[in-house]
Amino acid sequence: MRHSSDDLPLALYSAAQVRALDGALIAAGTPGFELMQRAAHAIWRALRREWPEAGAVTVLAGRGNNAGDGYLVAALAQRAGWQVRVLAVSEPQRLQGDAALAYEEARAAGVEILPWQAEAEPRGVLVDALLGTGLAGEVHEPYALAIDWINRSGQPVLAVDIPSGICADSGQVLGRAVTAQLTVTLIGLKIGLFVGQALDHVGRLVFDDLQADSEIVASEPFMAQRLAGAALPRVASRQPTTHKGQLGHLLVVGGDQGTGGAALLSAQSALRGGAGMVSLATRAEHIGAAQTRLPEVMSLAVASANQLHALADKISVWVVGPGLGQGAWGRSLLSAAAAAGGVQVWDADALNLLAADNVRIARGSVITPHPGEAARLLGISTAELQADRPAAARALARRYEVVCVLKGAGTLIADPTGRLLVCDRGDPVMAGAGLGDVLAGLIGALIAQGCSAWQAAALGVWVHACAGESLAHKGNGLAASDLCDAIRHLLQERAACRN
């Protein structure tokens, strides 16, 4: 489920950075308890908007400030005449500081506060105020049992700041995690809400900055940024005298026996992405199909690298890997691409051959691995990679000195300097074969038209994801080629105005 929109801030923070931001606001003169009260009001407003007729709230309270937020929400609900209970998973007497003050306020408001028990009856909206962003290791008892109780309840669930059990820095489920219908996150957006397994747990996302001073917020460091339309580059405008030679010549290299369709998809996407000329180097067996399906593409039957060397001077950007295979034919063509140099886009089997250390990719190029390919490039398991996707994307960008597009839920874009972008667009209908081939061709087309590797990756990922969203209403069964016309329309919307 897509859980964000372009009215959210762009900056994404680690848990430590949000704590530092919170500390900076307090140091600047906003008392911590006042921030907690603002948080409770924001949560209560969101709860009433989402479930205005619920009339009952059960708060699951743990420890720390997350619990403090929950106790203050309970007090607000009590004063509004709702039926309210707090089920304390951690002993309230162990609370300290602002969280202890919040507990006392809930008591003063007449809130019923009981120790949590697995036999308790879930009532109304369940407010997850158990663990928050401070969780580092796996969830342990009794919190694990309480999370299971929430998830089995069948009741609507609101998570305070982040669903308990989700790592705020990586989106990993730390053993088990609350599945919420609504998450109200506070002060700063946590990157873990936008990547990996978290996407199955966050539900709809609401953000409140708690009236934080914008100058203080702007002065604090952040970990990454969201991809948003307003912040993306625009495709250069075309003047009346523009001709194809000014829009780049893109070469797709791939399509071994039995996998010619992958290379065709990349070529089709490059055409719809606006490249001036598109050529395809593939097996002789695929030439007939290529000329029939894509007569605009100059299709070349190649048997060895020597045939590609003659093309190198004519090519603006190479897109290498779709359907390439890992046999002698694929290795030979990839070596020709590597020798040609320049900014290239490597995908699929080009990355598997790169992982095998058979070849080197030019600095400043773009790689577009899915998690399995990325794990092979880093020499780790896919599970290890998925446990911290942001760190993996940055590691790949540094290791190969490229722009890395780590595909998957919450696609990530990283460069060797540490810059990191997160795409929170797209739709599950895009879970199918061939969509990566389309993305590679699109990024290549944008480079051919003058975008930098970083700009092309950012704009390409965003347009590709939005194209999938635009077709989601038609249901499952999305074919990769369906995206190409949608990509063309979205790029036109992103085109710069003519002078």
Tell me which residue of 181, 187, 129, 135 sits closest to 160, measured CA to CA.
Answer: 129
Question: Which amino acid would we find at residue 163?
Answer: P
What does residue 135 show for φ and ψ, rounded to 5 degrees? Answer: -70, 130
- Find the Cα–Cα–Cα–Cα dihedral 96, 98, 103, 106, rounded to 10°: 170
Tell me which residue of 436, 412, 428, 422 sits closest to 468, measured CA to CA.
Answer: 428
Burial class of residue 338, CB neighbours in 10 A (0-12, 13-18, 19+)? buried
Instruction: Judge whether residue 67 has pLDDT over 50.
Output: yes
Contact criterion met (CB below 8 Å) for 347 and 319 = yes
pLDDT at 2: 38
What span, in angstroms and rounded, lies between the C-alpha atoms of 2 and 203? 8
Residues annotated within a binding site for K(+)? 66, 128, 164
User: 30-51, pLDDT tens digit by residue?
Assistant: 999 999 999 999 999 999 999 9
Min mean pLDDT across 219-223, 228-232, 492-496 is at 492-496
pLDDT at 310: 85
Tell me which residue of 359, 337, 355 sits closest to 281, measured CA to CA.
Answer: 337
pLDDT at 239: 87
pLDDT at 4: 41
Instruction: Judge whether residue 3 has pLDDT over 70.
Output: no
pLDDT at 409: 87
Q: How confident is the model at residue 155 (pLDDT cuts 50, 70, 90)?
A: very high
Every domain of the chain with CATH number 3.40.50.10260 lies at 5-223
Instruction: Judge whether residue 6 has pLDDT over 70.
Output: no
User: 127-144, pLDDT tens digit by residue?
Assistant: 999 999 988 899 999 999
Q: Which residue has the tokens 């994404």?
A: 12
What span, in angstroms and rounded, lies between the C-alpha atoms of 346 and 362? 10
Q: What is the mean pLDDT of residues 281-308?
A: 95
283: helix, strand or coil: coil
Query: Per DSSP, which regions of 101-175 are E strands?
Result: 112-115, 125-129, 157-160
Assigned token pair, 332: 């030979």
Residues 6+ apart with CB under 8 A from 298: 277, 278, 279, 280
* Alpha helix segments (H runs only) across 80-173: 97-108, 143-152
Tell me which residue of 374, 425, 429 sits closest to 194, measured CA to CA.
Answer: 425
In whole numbers, what is the pLDDT of the chain averaged over residues?
A: 95
What superfamily would CATH give domain 244-497? Ribokinase (3.40.1190.20)
Percent of the chain with pLDDT over 90: 90
Contact criterion met (CB below 8 Å) for 234 and 495 = yes
Q: What is the mean pLDDT of residues 402-410?
A: 96
What span, in angstroms and rounded, lies between the C-alpha atoms of 309 and 109? 79
Residues annotated within a binding site for (6S)-NADPHX? 132-138, 143, 161, 262, 323, 370, 437
For residue 53, give the H/E element and its range. Answer: none
pLDDT at 226: 96
Q: What is the mean pLDDT of residues 441-449?
A: 97
pLDDT at 229: 83
Contact criterion met (CB below 8 Å) for 161 and 184 = yes
What span, in angstroms and rounded, lies between the C-alpha atoms of 68 and 92? 10
pLDDT at 1: 32
Assigned token pair, 60: 């699951």
Instruction: Judge whether residue 498 has pLDDT over 70.
Output: no
Instruction: Judge whether residue 495 has pLDDT over 80.
Output: no
User: 68-123, pLDDT tens digit by residue?
Assistant: 999 999 999 999 999 999 999 999 999 999 999 999 999 999 999 999 999 999 99
Residues annotated within a binding site for AMP? 407-411, 436
Every domain of the chain with CATH number 3.40.1190.20 lies at 244-497
SS3 content of the chain, % helix, strand, coil (to 5): 45, 15, 40
Burial 206-224 (b: 16+ CB within 10 A, else e): bbbbbebeeeebeebebbb
Tell me which residue of 293, 290, 319 sits closest to 446, measured CA to CA.
Answer: 319
Under the phi-then-psi rule, with left for phi > 0, alpha for psi from -120 to 50, and beta for the rest, what region is 369?
Answer: beta
Instruction: Judge whether residue 497 has pLDDT over 60.
Output: no
Residues annotated within a binding site? 66, 128, 132-138, 143, 161, 164, 262, 323, 370, 407-411, 436-437
What span, in angstroms and rounded, lies between the C-alpha atoms of 40 and 34? 10
Assigned token pair, 356: 């095998």
Q: What is the mean pLDDT of residues 312-333?
A: 95
Instruction: Judge whether residue 246 has pLDDT over 90.
Output: no
Query: Per DSSP, which regions of 343-483 are E strands?
Result: 344-346, 366-367, 403-406, 412-414, 420-422
Q: How confident is the model at residue 233 (pLDDT cuts 50, 70, 90)?
A: confident
What superfamily would CATH give domain 5-223? YjeF N-terminal domain (3.40.50.10260)
pLDDT at 494: 78
Instruction: Judge whether residue 330 has pLDDT over 70.
Output: yes
Contact criterion met (CB below 8 Å) for 467 and 426 = no
Asked if the peptide bond before residue 369 counts as cis, ω within 30 degrees of 0, the response is no
pLDDT at 5: 54
